[in-house]
Amino acid sequence: MKHTDTPAPTPVPAPQPRLLPWLLRLHRPGLAVWAGLVAVLALALIAMWGPLGAAAADGWRQYRDCGDSGPCGYDQDAIIRYRDVYTYTTFAVIALPFLVAAWAGAALIGRELESGTAHLAWTTGLSPTRWLAAKLAAPAALITAGTGLLVLLHHLAWSANRHRIDTSKSWYDSPTLHANGPTTVALALAGLAAGVLAGLLWRRTLPALVAGLGFTVVLRFAADLVMPYLWPSVTHVTGPDTGYFMAGVEVDSGLVTSDGRHIADPGCGPSFVDGCAEMYAKLDATGVYTEYHPESHYWPLQLTTSALLLAVAAGLVVTAFALLRRSTASTPTRTGASPRTAVSAREEVAV
Protein backbone atom coordinates (compact mmCIF):
# COMPACT_ATOMS: atom_id res chain seq x y z
CA MET A 1 0.00 0.00 0.00
CA LYS A 2 1.39 3.35 -0.99
CA HIS A 3 1.72 5.79 1.91
CA THR A 4 0.95 9.48 1.28
CA ASP A 5 2.30 12.05 3.70
CA THR A 6 -0.37 14.38 5.08
CA PRO A 7 0.72 18.01 4.74
CA ALA A 8 1.19 19.86 8.02
CA PRO A 9 -1.63 22.29 8.81
CA THR A 10 -0.86 25.92 8.15
CA PRO A 11 -0.91 28.00 11.36
CA VAL A 12 -3.87 30.35 11.44
CA PRO A 13 -2.85 33.89 12.46
CA ALA A 14 -4.56 35.11 15.58
CA PRO A 15 -7.20 37.71 14.83
CA GLN A 16 -6.18 41.12 16.09
CA PRO A 17 -8.67 43.05 18.21
CA ARG A 18 -10.41 45.93 16.52
CA LEU A 19 -8.85 48.85 18.28
CA LEU A 20 -11.67 51.35 18.57
CA PRO A 21 -14.36 48.95 19.91
CA TRP A 22 -11.74 47.43 22.21
CA LEU A 23 -10.78 50.84 23.64
CA LEU A 24 -14.41 51.86 24.08
CA ARG A 25 -15.20 48.67 26.01
CA LEU A 26 -12.06 48.86 28.10
CA HIS A 27 -12.48 52.51 29.10
CA ARG A 28 -16.26 52.78 29.06
CA PRO A 29 -16.47 54.34 32.57
CA GLY A 30 -13.92 57.03 31.72
CA LEU A 31 -15.70 57.80 28.46
CA ALA A 32 -19.04 58.11 30.25
CA VAL A 33 -17.60 60.46 32.86
CA TRP A 34 -15.94 62.61 30.18
CA ALA A 35 -19.09 62.81 28.06
CA GLY A 36 -21.21 63.69 31.09
CA LEU A 37 -18.77 66.34 32.27
CA VAL A 38 -18.55 67.96 28.85
CA ALA A 39 -22.33 67.90 28.48
CA VAL A 40 -22.98 69.51 31.88
CA LEU A 41 -20.38 72.24 31.37
CA ALA A 42 -21.60 72.89 27.83
CA LEU A 43 -25.16 73.37 29.05
CA ALA A 44 -23.99 75.72 31.82
CA LEU A 45 -21.94 77.79 29.34
CA ILE A 46 -24.83 77.97 26.88
CA ALA A 47 -27.06 79.17 29.72
CA MET A 48 -24.47 81.85 30.58
CA TRP A 49 -24.33 82.86 26.95
CA GLY A 50 -28.13 83.09 26.82
CA PRO A 51 -30.68 83.42 29.62
CA LEU A 52 -28.37 83.69 32.63
CA GLY A 53 -26.30 86.41 31.00
CA ALA A 54 -29.39 88.30 29.82
CA ALA A 55 -30.95 88.20 33.30
CA ALA A 56 -27.72 89.38 34.95
CA ALA A 57 -27.29 92.17 32.40
CA ASP A 58 -30.86 93.31 33.04
CA GLY A 59 -30.18 93.28 36.78
CA TRP A 60 -27.14 95.51 36.31
CA ARG A 61 -29.15 97.85 34.09
CA GLN A 62 -31.74 98.16 36.85
CA TYR A 63 -28.99 98.84 39.37
CA ARG A 64 -27.43 101.58 37.23
CA ASP A 65 -30.84 103.18 36.69
CA CYS A 66 -31.22 103.55 40.43
CA GLY A 67 -28.49 106.20 40.49
CA ASP A 68 -28.33 108.16 43.75
CA SER A 69 -32.06 108.27 44.29
CA GLY A 70 -31.89 105.93 47.24
CA PRO A 71 -32.95 102.31 47.65
CA CYS A 72 -34.64 100.71 44.66
CA GLY A 73 -35.35 97.25 43.42
CA TYR A 74 -33.07 95.28 41.09
CA ASP A 75 -32.59 91.59 40.36
CA GLN A 76 -29.69 90.85 42.68
CA ASP A 77 -30.30 87.09 42.54
CA ALA A 78 -29.71 87.05 38.77
CA ILE A 79 -26.43 88.91 39.20
CA ILE A 80 -25.19 86.54 41.91
CA ARG A 81 -26.37 83.47 40.00
CA TYR A 82 -24.42 84.47 36.90
CA ARG A 83 -21.32 85.25 38.94
CA ASP A 84 -21.40 81.87 40.67
CA VAL A 85 -22.00 79.89 37.48
CA TYR A 86 -19.22 81.80 35.73
CA THR A 87 -16.77 81.09 38.55
CA TYR A 88 -17.57 77.39 38.79
CA THR A 89 -17.54 76.76 35.04
CA THR A 90 -14.33 78.74 34.50
CA PHE A 91 -12.41 76.78 37.10
CA ALA A 92 -13.92 73.52 35.88
CA VAL A 93 -12.75 74.21 32.32
CA ILE A 94 -9.18 75.07 33.34
CA ALA A 95 -9.11 72.01 35.63
CA LEU A 96 -9.78 69.60 32.73
CA PRO A 97 -6.08 69.14 31.79
CA PHE A 98 -5.28 67.98 35.32
CA LEU A 99 -8.19 65.54 35.27
CA VAL A 100 -6.95 64.20 31.94
CA ALA A 101 -3.41 63.77 33.26
CA ALA A 102 -4.57 61.89 36.35
CA TRP A 103 -6.82 59.59 34.31
CA ALA A 104 -4.15 58.92 31.68
CA GLY A 105 -1.56 57.96 34.28
CA ALA A 106 -3.88 55.86 36.41
CA ALA A 107 -6.57 54.23 34.25
CA LEU A 108 -5.27 54.51 30.70
CA ILE A 109 -1.74 53.12 31.24
CA GLY A 110 -0.75 52.49 34.85
CA ARG A 111 -3.60 50.15 35.78
CA GLU A 112 -3.21 48.06 32.61
CA LEU A 113 0.51 47.57 33.15
CA GLU A 114 0.01 46.83 36.83
CA SER A 115 -2.74 44.25 36.22
CA GLY A 116 -1.07 42.65 33.18
CA THR A 117 -3.90 43.58 30.81
CA ALA A 118 -1.45 45.32 28.50
CA HIS A 119 0.79 42.25 28.26
CA LEU A 120 -2.23 40.11 27.50
CA ALA A 121 -3.14 42.47 24.65
CA TRP A 122 0.36 42.11 23.24
CA THR A 123 -0.04 38.31 23.06
CA THR A 124 -3.08 38.62 20.76
CA GLY A 125 -1.06 40.03 17.86
CA LEU A 126 -1.35 43.67 18.96
CA SER A 127 2.19 45.08 19.07
CA PRO A 128 3.18 47.33 21.97
CA THR A 129 3.76 50.25 19.57
CA ARG A 130 0.32 49.89 18.00
CA TRP A 131 -1.21 49.47 21.46
CA LEU A 132 0.31 52.75 22.64
CA ALA A 133 -0.62 54.55 19.41
CA ALA A 134 -4.25 53.55 19.91
CA LYS A 135 -4.09 54.55 23.56
CA LEU A 136 -2.95 58.02 22.54
CA ALA A 137 -4.90 58.68 19.34
CA ALA A 138 -8.45 57.92 20.45
CA PRO A 139 -8.29 59.83 23.78
CA ALA A 140 -6.47 62.73 22.09
CA ALA A 141 -9.30 63.10 19.58
CA LEU A 142 -11.99 63.03 22.29
CA ILE A 143 -10.05 65.40 24.55
CA THR A 144 -9.45 67.87 21.73
CA ALA A 145 -13.09 67.83 20.69
CA GLY A 146 -14.51 68.12 24.20
CA THR A 147 -12.09 70.70 25.55
CA GLY A 148 -12.18 72.71 22.34
CA LEU A 149 -15.98 72.86 22.47
CA LEU A 150 -15.98 74.08 26.07
CA VAL A 151 -13.30 76.69 25.43
CA LEU A 152 -15.28 78.00 22.45
CA LEU A 153 -18.51 78.21 24.45
CA HIS A 154 -16.72 79.92 27.34
CA HIS A 155 -15.25 82.51 25.00
CA LEU A 156 -18.64 83.15 23.42
CA ALA A 157 -20.37 83.52 26.81
CA TRP A 158 -17.68 85.85 28.13
CA SER A 159 -17.62 87.96 24.96
CA ALA A 160 -21.40 88.33 24.93
CA ASN A 161 -21.53 89.67 28.49
CA ARG A 162 -18.23 91.48 29.08
CA HIS A 163 -19.69 94.93 28.30
CA ARG A 164 -23.15 94.26 29.78
CA ILE A 165 -22.21 92.96 33.23
CA ASP A 166 -20.23 95.32 35.43
CA THR A 167 -18.37 92.57 37.28
CA SER A 168 -17.23 90.71 34.16
CA LYS A 169 -13.65 89.51 34.37
CA SER A 170 -11.03 91.25 32.28
CA TRP A 171 -9.52 89.42 29.32
CA TYR A 172 -6.17 89.13 31.12
CA ASP A 173 -7.59 87.60 34.31
CA SER A 174 -5.60 84.37 34.48
CA PRO A 175 -8.46 81.83 34.78
CA THR A 176 -10.48 83.69 32.13
CA LEU A 177 -7.46 84.00 29.84
CA HIS A 178 -6.91 80.24 29.80
CA ALA A 179 -10.57 79.20 29.78
CA ASN A 180 -11.14 81.47 26.77
CA GLY A 181 -8.36 80.18 24.54
CA PRO A 182 -6.52 77.19 23.07
CA THR A 183 -3.93 77.05 25.84
CA THR A 184 -6.34 74.86 27.81
CA VAL A 185 -6.70 72.45 24.87
CA ALA A 186 -2.92 72.32 24.41
CA LEU A 187 -2.37 71.75 28.13
CA ALA A 188 -4.96 68.94 28.11
CA LEU A 189 -3.02 67.17 25.34
CA ALA A 190 0.22 67.73 27.23
CA GLY A 191 -1.48 66.31 30.33
CA LEU A 192 -2.48 63.22 28.35
CA ALA A 193 1.11 62.73 27.18
CA ALA A 194 2.46 63.34 30.69
CA GLY A 195 0.07 60.80 32.19
CA VAL A 196 0.94 58.20 29.57
CA LEU A 197 4.66 58.65 30.16
CA ALA A 198 4.15 58.49 33.93
CA GLY A 199 2.22 55.24 33.54
CA LEU A 200 5.02 53.71 31.46
CA LEU A 201 7.63 54.84 33.96
CA TRP A 202 5.95 53.77 37.20
CA ARG A 203 3.71 50.96 35.87
CA ARG A 204 1.40 51.30 38.86
CA THR A 205 -1.87 53.13 39.20
CA LEU A 206 -1.39 55.51 42.13
CA PRO A 207 2.22 56.58 41.47
CA ALA A 208 1.40 57.18 37.80
CA LEU A 209 -1.63 59.28 38.76
CA VAL A 210 0.42 61.45 41.12
CA ALA A 211 3.34 61.82 38.72
CA GLY A 212 1.17 62.71 35.70
CA LEU A 213 -0.85 65.21 37.71
CA GLY A 214 2.25 66.75 39.28
CA PHE A 215 4.02 67.22 35.98
CA THR A 216 0.95 68.89 34.48
CA VAL A 217 0.76 71.30 37.43
CA VAL A 218 4.42 72.20 36.91
CA LEU A 219 3.83 72.62 33.18
CA ARG A 220 0.88 74.98 33.77
CA PHE A 221 2.93 77.04 36.22
CA ALA A 222 5.84 77.22 33.78
CA ALA A 223 3.53 78.23 30.91
CA ASP A 224 2.14 81.09 33.00
CA LEU A 225 5.67 82.28 33.75
CA VAL A 226 6.94 82.26 30.17
CA MET A 227 3.76 83.44 28.41
CA PRO A 228 4.49 87.21 28.82
CA TYR A 229 7.92 86.76 27.23
CA LEU A 230 6.83 84.84 24.13
CA TRP A 231 5.73 88.00 22.33
CA PRO A 232 7.21 91.54 22.33
CA SER A 233 5.52 93.76 24.91
CA VAL A 234 4.70 97.47 24.80
CA THR A 235 5.75 100.13 27.33
CA HIS A 236 3.50 102.77 28.85
CA VAL A 237 5.02 105.67 30.83
CA THR A 238 3.07 107.91 33.22
CA GLY A 239 3.95 110.55 35.77
CA PRO A 240 4.93 109.56 39.30
CA ASP A 241 1.67 110.94 40.68
CA THR A 242 -0.67 108.70 38.63
CA GLY A 243 0.69 105.24 39.38
CA TYR A 244 1.02 102.27 37.08
CA PHE A 245 -1.02 101.64 33.97
CA MET A 246 -2.91 98.36 34.37
CA ALA A 247 -4.69 97.20 31.22
CA GLY A 248 -3.18 93.87 30.20
CA VAL A 249 -0.75 91.09 31.00
CA GLU A 250 2.06 92.77 32.93
CA VAL A 251 5.67 91.98 32.09
CA ASP A 252 7.63 94.49 34.17
CA SER A 253 7.25 97.82 35.94
CA GLY A 254 9.40 100.37 37.71
CA LEU A 255 10.65 103.95 37.65
CA VAL A 256 11.92 106.02 34.73
CA THR A 257 14.82 108.42 35.34
CA SER A 258 15.42 111.73 33.59
CA ASP A 259 17.87 110.10 31.18
CA GLY A 260 15.37 107.37 30.25
CA ARG A 261 16.78 104.52 32.35
CA HIS A 262 14.44 101.99 33.95
CA ILE A 263 15.13 101.29 37.61
CA ALA A 264 13.42 99.25 40.31
CA ASP A 265 10.50 100.74 42.19
CA PRO A 266 11.27 101.25 45.92
CA GLY A 267 7.61 100.61 46.65
CA CYS A 268 6.74 104.01 48.05
CA GLY A 269 3.63 104.68 45.97
CA PRO A 270 2.38 107.80 44.14
CA SER A 271 4.37 110.98 44.62
CA PHE A 272 1.64 112.64 46.69
CA VAL A 273 2.26 110.13 49.50
CA ASP A 274 4.33 111.68 52.28
CA GLY A 275 8.05 111.30 51.60
CA CYS A 276 7.65 109.71 48.15
CA ALA A 277 8.32 112.89 46.15
CA GLU A 278 11.61 113.40 48.02
CA MET A 279 12.61 109.77 47.44
CA TYR A 280 11.90 110.01 43.72
CA ALA A 281 13.89 113.24 43.53
CA LYS A 282 16.91 111.47 45.05
CA LEU A 283 16.54 108.66 42.52
CA ASP A 284 16.17 111.18 39.66
CA ALA A 285 12.84 109.49 38.81
CA THR A 286 10.52 111.44 36.55
CA GLY A 287 7.81 108.81 36.01
CA VAL A 288 6.82 105.19 36.19
CA TYR A 289 6.75 102.64 33.38
CA THR A 290 4.74 99.51 32.73
CA GLU A 291 5.70 96.86 30.20
CA TYR A 292 2.57 94.92 29.33
CA HIS A 293 0.57 93.15 26.63
CA PRO A 294 -2.58 94.95 25.45
CA GLU A 295 -5.68 93.12 24.29
CA SER A 296 -4.41 93.15 20.71
CA HIS A 297 -1.76 90.66 21.87
CA TYR A 298 -4.36 88.17 23.04
CA TRP A 299 -4.09 85.76 20.10
CA PRO A 300 -0.30 86.02 19.73
CA LEU A 301 0.05 85.09 23.41
CA GLN A 302 -2.48 82.28 23.12
CA LEU A 303 -0.98 80.78 19.98
CA THR A 304 2.67 80.99 21.03
CA THR A 305 1.93 79.46 24.43
CA SER A 306 -0.20 76.74 22.84
CA ALA A 307 2.57 75.95 20.35
CA LEU A 308 5.05 75.63 23.20
CA LEU A 309 2.75 73.29 25.13
CA LEU A 310 2.14 71.15 22.05
CA ALA A 311 5.89 70.92 21.46
CA VAL A 312 6.31 69.66 25.02
CA ALA A 313 3.48 67.18 24.45
CA ALA A 314 5.16 65.91 21.27
CA GLY A 315 8.43 65.46 23.14
CA LEU A 316 6.67 63.48 25.87
CA VAL A 317 4.99 61.25 23.27
CA VAL A 318 8.30 60.53 21.52
CA THR A 319 9.86 59.70 24.89
CA ALA A 320 6.95 57.39 25.73
CA PHE A 321 7.34 55.41 22.49
CA ALA A 322 11.10 55.13 22.98
CA LEU A 323 10.62 53.92 26.55
CA LEU A 324 8.01 51.37 25.49
CA ARG A 325 10.19 49.95 22.70
CA ARG A 326 13.10 49.69 25.09
CA SER A 327 11.11 47.97 27.84
CA THR A 328 9.29 45.53 25.51
CA ALA A 329 12.13 44.63 23.18
CA SER A 330 11.97 40.97 24.28
CA THR A 331 8.18 40.75 24.78
CA PRO A 332 6.78 37.92 22.63
CA THR A 333 3.66 38.42 20.53
CA ARG A 334 1.44 35.51 19.57
CA THR A 335 1.02 35.23 15.80
CA GLY A 336 0.24 31.55 15.39
CA ALA A 337 -2.29 30.86 18.09
CA SER A 338 -5.48 29.06 17.28
CA PRO A 339 -8.48 31.28 16.56
CA ARG A 340 -10.30 30.01 19.64
CA THR A 341 -7.39 30.82 21.95
CA ALA A 342 -6.85 34.24 20.42
CA VAL A 343 -10.52 35.15 20.68
CA SER A 344 -10.60 34.07 24.33
CA ALA A 345 -7.58 36.23 25.10
CA ARG A 346 -9.14 39.15 23.27
CA GLU A 347 -12.30 38.82 25.33
CA GLU A 348 -10.23 38.86 28.52
CA VAL A 349 -8.52 42.06 27.39
CA ALA A 350 -11.90 43.69 26.82
CA VAL A 351 -13.08 42.97 30.38
Q: Is the pLDDT of residue 282 over 50?
A: yes
CA–CA dist 115, 137 (Å, integer): 22
**What is the total count of domains within the chain?**
2
Q: Can you tell me the distance from the alpha carbon of 232 to that of 236, in angstroms, rounded to the nearest whole number?
A: 14
Confidence of residue 241 (pLDDT cuts 50, 70, 90): confident
Q: Is the pLDDT of residue 34 over 90?
A: yes
| Residue 169 domain-assigned (yes or no) | yes
Output DSSP code: residue 116.
T
- Indicate the pLDDT class of residue 339, thresholds 50, 70 and 90: very low
Question: Could you give the CA distance from residue 345 to residue 347 in angstroms, rounded to a whole number?
Answer: 5
Same domain, 287 and 301: no
Rounded to whole angstroms, the Cα distance separating 158 from 231 reads 24
Higher pLDDT: 52 or 335? It is 52
DSSP 127-182: -HHHHHHHHHHHHHHHHHHHHHHHHHHHHHHHHHHTTTSTTPPPTTSHHHHHHTST
84 shares a domain with 29: yes
How far is the C-alpha of 185 from the C-alpha of 198, rounded, in Å?
Answer: 20
Highest mean pLDDT among 9-18, 74-83, 121-130: 74-83
Q: Domain for residue 2, yes or no? A: no
Based on the fold, state whether residues 253 and 212 are members of the same structural domain.
Answer: no
The pLDDT of residue 285: 84
| Statement to judge: residues 126 and 267 lie in one domain | no
Which range has the worst mean pLDDT, 47-51, 57-61, 107-111, 273-277? 273-277
Residue 33 included in any domain: yes
Residues 225 and 312 in one domain: yes
pTM of the model: 0.84
Give the CA angle between residues 221, 173, 306 to the nearest 5°.
50
- Domain extent, residue 124, equals 19-67+74-230+297-350
Which is more confident, 69 or 307?
A: 307
Is the residue at 6 inside a domain?
no
Statement: residue 182 has pLDDT above 50: yes
Residues 124 and 238 in one domain: no
pLDDT of the residue at 278: 82
